Structure 1
Amino acid sequence: YFDKDPDFLWTQAPRPRLSDKSYKHNYYDEKITLEERLLRTANKDFVTTEEEIMFDAADVMRLGKDLFIQHGLTTNRKAMEWFKRKYPGFRIHAVNFPGDPYPIHIDATFVPLRPGLIINNPHRPLPKEQRAIFEANDWEIVEAAQPAHKEPPPLCYSSVWLSMNCLVLNHKTVIVEASEVHQLEQMDKLGMNVIPVAFRDAYAFGGGLHCSTADVFRDGKCEDYFPNQKVKDITRV
C-alpha cells in the first residue's frame, strides 16, 4: 500500500512503558463486588492512570471526520489528547458505557451499520447526556438483539455480546456470525443484506468478525456524518 499509494500515511502510536505508575494498584482485588465495579465504571474510575499515553485501537470508532473513543480499562484520556494533536482534521469524542464492568473495546458495545444508524448493547447504553451529537445529526441508536448463546465458547474470554461484533462491508451489507440467529434477524429487519459466516470457533483467538479484520483500503471519500456541530457536546475532547 505504501509503494502504490502516494497519499498513504504510515504512522505508529506511542509505545507505553507500562510501569507501575501506569496502573492503579489492587484495582482487581477479588473482594471487589460486581456492584462496586459498575460504580467505578460509572465514575470513570479505571485501572489505567494518566501517567502516559495508553490505548487500544479497538476502542476507537471512526465515523467519517469524527473519532469516537471509549474511555475504559484499555484507553485513557491522555490518549485522546494524543489523537487530537496527531489528527487535527478529525473531531475527537470521549464516550463511555457505565453498564459494562469491564469496558474493553467498543466493537461489541456500539456498532455503526450505516449513516444514521447504530446498534447499542442494551446492557451498556450510551448515557443520555452523551447522545446530543447523535440526535442533532439525526442518528438513530437502537438496542442490539440478544445473543443466541448464554455462554461464550471454550477458551473464549470475551462476552456473549460478540454476537454484535459484525463486519460492515458497505451501507447495505453486513457479515454476521452464522449461529447468531437473533442478530441475523434484526439486521434483516433493519434493511441490511446479511451474510452469515461461521466464526464462533475462532472466538478463542481474540474476538469476532470485526476484531479479526482491518479495512486498510476504502472506496469513496471521507464524508462528514456530523455536520451539525451547533450543539452542547460533552463528549468533545
Structure 2
Amino acid sequence: MHLNSYDEWSPLREVIVGSARNYISHERELSFDLFFHDNIVNDNAFRTEWYYPRLSQRDATAPRATPIKQQYVDELAEDLDGIAAALAGLSVTVLRPMDLPDSTGTVRTPAWAASTVPALNVRDNTLIVGDEIIETPPMIRSRYFETQLLKPIFQEYFRHGARWSVMPRPLMTDASFDLSYVRDTSAGGPTEVIHDPRPSPYDVGHEMMFDAAQCLRLGRDIIANVSTANHALACDWLERHLEGRFRIHRVHRLSDSHIDSMVLALRPGTLLVRSPAVLDKLPEALRRWDIIVPPVPRSNNFPRYDDDDLVLTSKFIDLNVLSVDPDTVLVNEACPELIRELEDHKFTVVPVRHRHRRLFGGGFHCFTLDTVREGGLEDYLS
C-alpha cells in the first residue's frame, strides 16, 4: 500500500510491530544514562551504589553491560506476537522488521563502539509524516543503525511513491550531548550528575539528536517535545524540511524525551494525559480538548523483579496505548483501571498482554509504527 499516516487515531490499515530477537543486554554508557536519566534516578532509587556506579568512578572506555534474563526476552517475543495477532484480528496488515542477527554484536564508528539492540521500539527512530519516512538521529549509541533492520519495508514503500529522508546522523561524542537537563533536574540518588564529558578529536559541539516518539502528530500540526539543545537543533531541521506542509509546535521539557506516556491523542478533541498539569505545557488550542486522566497505576499491575533487573520506564508506561481507530484502543490487559476509564469514555478497549514493559522501555505505541491510516492532512488546531 501507499504510505499514508498523518495522525494517531485514524483507521489503521498497516503497521510495523517490533522484534525482540537477540536482545541480550542493556549497555550502561553516557548516551544510555542520559536517555533513561529520569527513570534510572527516580524509579531505581532503592538500588545500591555498587549497582549504579557513579560516572566519575567507572571506566568511561569500558561501558557496563547489564544482562537481560532470557526468560524476559522470550516472554517479550511472545507478547509481541500477541500484539501482532491482535492487530491482524482487527483487519490491520502487520509488517515486522528483520531480526537482529546472532552475529551482530557491536556497532562501531570512528568515535565510539556500542553493543547493538534489535528493532523493538520501532516508533523511536522513524517519524512518518503523511507520505514521507523520516529517519531521526538516534539518542542512544547502541541504536545508531537500528533503522537498517527496517530497510526492506521502507524500500517497498519508496517503490510505491513514498518520500524517504534521513536526518543528519550525529557523531555522538560525549561533547555532542547537551547535559543541561540532567544538571537541572537530577533528583540525586544513585546516578551522579554528569559534569565533564571526555574530549574527542571528533567533537563538533552539540548535535541533532531526537526521537520520533517526541512528536504528537495531529494532521497538519506536529507537537514536538524539546528538553535539550540536541532536540532544538533537530526541530530546526524539521521546521525547514517540512516548511509549507506541516507546522511544528514546540513544547518545552514536558518530559526528558518521549511524550507518548505523557500525552496521546485518542481521537480529534480527546487527549489521554498523565495528569492535568500536562495541559499547561501544551499549545492553547489543545488545552480546550477533553482530557482523560486515568487513575495512578497500582504496583500489583507490574511483575516483581530481582535487584539485578534494570527498570527503565515509569509506572505510567501503560498510558502508551495504540489507537486502531477513533473508537478502538489497544491497552495492556494488566491495567484494569485504565481499561475501565477508557470504557467509561465510550472507547472499545482491546486488552492485549504485555508483561515486561518496564524492562524494555516501551508500550504498544512504542512497539508499533503506523504506516498506513485512512486520515489526511486535516487542521485540528485552528
The TM-score range, normalised by the shorter chain, is: 0.7 to 0.9
* The one of 211, 224, 229 aligned to 2:379: 224
The structure whose residues are more often helix, as a share, is 2
C-alpha change, 1:163 and 1:74, in structure 2 (3 Å) is farther
Q: Secondary structure at the match of 1:159?
A: coil
Match of residue 47 from structure 1: none
Match of residue 161 from structure 1: 316
Count matched residues.
206
Amino acid at match of 2:166: Q
Asked if the contact 2:206–2:230 (Cα under 8 Å) also holds between the matched residues in 1, the reply is no
Match of residue 92 from structure 2: none
Cα RMSD of the aligned pairs, angstroms, is 3.0
Gaps of 5+ in 2: 1-155, 189-204
Match of residue 291 from structure 2: 141
Pair 1:180-2:335 in alignment: yes
In the TM superposition, residue 117 of structure 1 has moved relative to its aligned partner by 0.6
Deviation sequence 1:139-164 (CA, Å, 0-9, x none): 22332332133685434311110121
1:1-237, aligned counterparts within 5 Å? 1-2=156-157, 5-6=160-161, 8-24=162-178, 28=182, 32-33=186-187, 51-72=206-227, 76-88=231-243, 89-97=245-253, 100=255, 103-122=256-275, 125-127=278-280, 130-135=282-287, 138-149=288-299, 153=303, 154=305, 155=309, 156-226=311-381, 228=382
Amino acid at match of 2:289: W
TM-score, normalization by structure 1: 0.75
Asked if the contact 1:202–1:208 (Cα under 8 Å) also holds between the matched residues in 2, the reply is yes
C-alpha change, 1:209 and 1:112, in structure 2 (3 Å) is same
Whose RCO is larger (CA < 8 A, sep 6+)?
2
Q: Secondary structure at the match of 2:351?
A: strand
C-alpha change, 1:215 and 1:207, in structure 2 (3 Å) is same
Amino acid at match of 1:56: D
C-alpha change, 1:223 and 1:198, in structure 2 (3 Å) is same
Larger-Rg structure: 2
Gaps of 5+ in 1: 35-49, 229-237
Mapped to 1, the partners of 2:242 and 2:375 lie a distance apart of 20
TM-score, normalization by structure 2: 0.48
Mapped to 2, the partners of 1:178 and 1:186 lie a distance apart of 13
In the TM superposition, residue 24 of structure 1 has moved relative to its aligned partner by 4.5
Q: Secondary structure at the match of 2:217?
A: strand
Asked if the contact 1:177–1:199 (Cα under 8 Å) also holds between the matched residues in 2, the reply is yes
Deviation sequence 1:119-151 (CA, Å, 0-9, x none): 1111862326x441224xx42233233213368
Asked if the contact 2:178–2:206 (Cα under 8 Å) also holds between the matched residues in 1, the reply is no
C-alpha change, 1:19 and 1:119, in structure 2 (3 Å) is same
Q: Secondary structure at the match of 1:111?
A: strand
Mapped to 2, the partners of 1:198 and 1:77 lie a distance apart of 36
Identity of aligned residues (%): 30
